[in-house]
């Protein structure tokens, strides 16, 4: 599955129209965000997670989504189920992200 980049204007509809969602919050200046991005995209193609929708969002440019998820550091990941936050983490370790997604799937 493809990882789509969304903004505040699409955020509410995105989390309501997808049952299971994982969002990577990032910023252009965040080196760790850039390093983990290809690994995050690889997880989106993992067969185990085919029913999970993957998104990326610039935390600096999208304050509404950032506030909703409680983003306090980057890279920040949030899993959302049925429009509600299920879990969040600030991490540069893809293994931790994979655990969150596996718990959602």
The sign of the CA dihedral 100, 72, 68, 59 is negative
The one catalytic residue among 30, 36, 53, 57: 30
Active site residue 30: yes
The one catalytic residue among 15, 33, 78, 80: 33
pLDDT digits (tens, 9 = 90+) for 44-81: 999 999 999 999 999 999 999 999 999 999 999 999 99
CATH code for the domain of 97: 3.40.30.10
Active site residue 33: yes
pTM of the model: 0.95
Percent of the chain with pLDDT over 90: 98
Cα first-last separation, the chain: 14
- The Cα–Cα gap between 22 and 104 comes to 9
Q: Domain count for the chain, please give it.
A: 1
What's the whole-number mean pLDDT along residues 89-102? 97
Q: Give φ, ψ of 58 to 5 degrees.
A: -75, 115
- Give the domain extent around 13: 3-104
pLDDT at position 105, please? 73
């Amino acid at each position: 599955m493809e990882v789509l980049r969304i903004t505040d204007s699409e955020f509410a509809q995105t989390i309501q129209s997808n049952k299971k969602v994982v969002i990577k919050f990032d910023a252009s200046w965040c080196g760790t965000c850039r390093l983990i991005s290809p690994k995050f995209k690889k997880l989106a193609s993992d067969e185990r997670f085919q029913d999970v929708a993957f998104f990326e969002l610039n935390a600096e440019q999208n304050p509404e989504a950032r506030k909703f998820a409680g983003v306090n550091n980057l890279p920040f990941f949030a899993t959302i189920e049925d429009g509600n936050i299920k879990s969040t983490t600030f991490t540069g370790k893809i293994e931790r992200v994979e655990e969150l997604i596996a718990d959602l799937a």
